[in-house]
A and B are shown apart, each in its own frame.
Chain A
Amino acid sequence: MLLITCPYCGVAAEETELHGGGEAHLKRFGPDSSDDDFTGYLFHRENPKGVHFERWRHVNGCGKWFHAARCTNTLEVFGTYSAQTTEPPKDILDTIRAKRPGFKWRDIA
């Protein structure tokens, strides 16, 4: 079972109280972008065994979207952070680097 702490209401919410929103920190490519960029934005997703950054919504709760960094292999949650950011905060990255030396996720390492 996955327990993720919502950064907005502070509840350690159980998985059924949340809804997954897919990969985090996608850069949107819309009209006027190249076909390659648009394809990448639309279809190409990371599917790691290990460290992953995701969007979640506290749907049966405060209703807020937020980000979570977790390990897809052990279900360990490294931390959660605000949705209003385009990259993971430094303290979360430091936590992950300490626990998973050498991890790589897209261009974050």
Chain B
Amino acid sequence: MSDVALALGGATFDGLVKIEELAHGMITLRGDLTDKAIVAAVKDVFGVTLPGTRETAFAGSTGALWMSPDEALLLCPYDEAQTKADDLAAKLADAHALVVNVSDARAVFQLKGRMLREVIAKLAPVDMSPDAFTPGMVRRTRMAQVAAAFWMDDASTARVVCFRSVAAYMFGILSTSADDAAAVNHFAG
């Protein structure tokens, strides 16, 4: 296995939230997400049932994110991604589906801290109030000027995915939004 070459070499920032670039295995699956053969194959390889609209499903280190009615992003540890992608592609050889390992085409940032709702709300046109956005949901949207997707693992942890080519921009806007001098304290708790 070749060395992991992250877009920003695992950049970190400490402010309102702790931001850290992660190595992440990501596999794009395109196909009818309600197709029984596809659901069964994903369950077999990733151990999760494909989630419903705008939901996430996790089983330990693997998971699945709903991206659109015919697209899911499957998550796993970075060094297992190619094996799992090959495995899933083989299982879906007869199905109308496409499986691609996109781990090196994306960048992932983890946000940790109780201010993460505010950090995200400043960048994305999404209602981040605790009533509207909860752990278990995923949202594809834009953050400032670039496309992104994010979800919350728990009340104080979120992960943001963007294209690798805009990783530096994403890290920059997240760091600015999370600057200690930029607190708004909009969301209580």
A residues in contact (CB < 8 Å) with B:
8-11, 13-14, 16-17, 59-64
Contacts and interface: CB of A to CB of B under 8 A. Distances in A.
Given A9-B53, A10-B53, A11-B54, A63 B68 contact: yes
Contacts of B53: 9-10
Interface in B67-98: 67-69, 71
B10 interface: no
**List of 3 A-B pairs having minimum Cβ-Cβ separation, nearest first:** A62-B68, A60-B142, A14-B125
Given A10-B53, A10-B54, A17-B125, A64 B69 contact: yes
17 contacts: A8-B69, A9-B53, A9-B54, A9-B69, A9-B140, A10-B53, A11-B54, A16-B125, A16-B142, A17-B142, A61-B140, A61-B141, A62-B67, A62-B68, A63-B68, A63-B71, A64-B69
B24 interface: no
B173 to A, nearest CB: 15
B142 A8 contact: no
B147 interface: yes
Contacts of A13: 125
Contacts of A59: 147
Nearest to A62: B68
Contacts of B112: none
B139 interface: yes
Nearest to A10: B53
A79 to B, nearest CB: 19
Interface in B36-88: 53-54, 67-69, 71
A14 B139 CA distance: 13
Contacts of A16: 125, 142
B146 to A, nearest CB: 9
A11 B142 CA distance: 13
A78 to B, nearest CB: 22
Residue from the set A13, A59, A63 with the largest chain B CB neighbour count within 10 Å: A63
A64 B68 CA distance: 8
Interface string B104-146: 0000000000000000000001000000000000011110000
